[in-house]
Structure 1
């Protein structure tokens, strides 16, 4: 296990989970760096782990981040599709966070993750 990769993936997860609420879609450009980081950590982990499940989860997270970022750009360009873009953005961010969480649980089972912040009461 690469400690650097695991810690990096944890940081990306924190970033992804910080996208909370409808206004978060305006931060979609931040996801491009997260995509690159996850892909780089997946490459790094490919050399130290033989788990195809982890690679599949990380590849899915990268794809979900790409789609979320594109939904954010569509939200800016096309006012008529904003409700759909918003829903797609939230769905894909949740998919990316789930993939990252599952990969981290498999990579580092001795250090459990805190519960996800999604669905928290904002009052």
Structure 2
């Protein structure tokens, strides 16, 4: 008989954060919201900053976690998540996004200026 639960392993740079068996795990990826149950198809995707629900929302055993970016991989009823940061209260990730955006814009400006300098030398 096939198992009706999945194993959820959440790992951070500091080690294993959580290792539990559950009926369903719901999370958000770059492709949209995913709810995984036992015997689902194998896949891999990128997590986006959001919430992870372990068990159904109506379950008395519901666990909710807030995560930063990460990677999720599901195979053989084992869901492995590698995340930058996780907590049971909201994360302050806006500062990270602002810094990343500033870095992107600096690179874009630098490339633009280099292109203009190259064009002016011709």
Under a length normalisation based on structure 1, what TM-score does the superposition of the two structures give?
Answer: 0.27
Higher alpha-carbon Rg: 2
Structure (1/2) with the larger strand percentage: 2
Under a length normalisation based on structure 2, what TM-score does the superposition of the two structures give?
Answer: 0.27
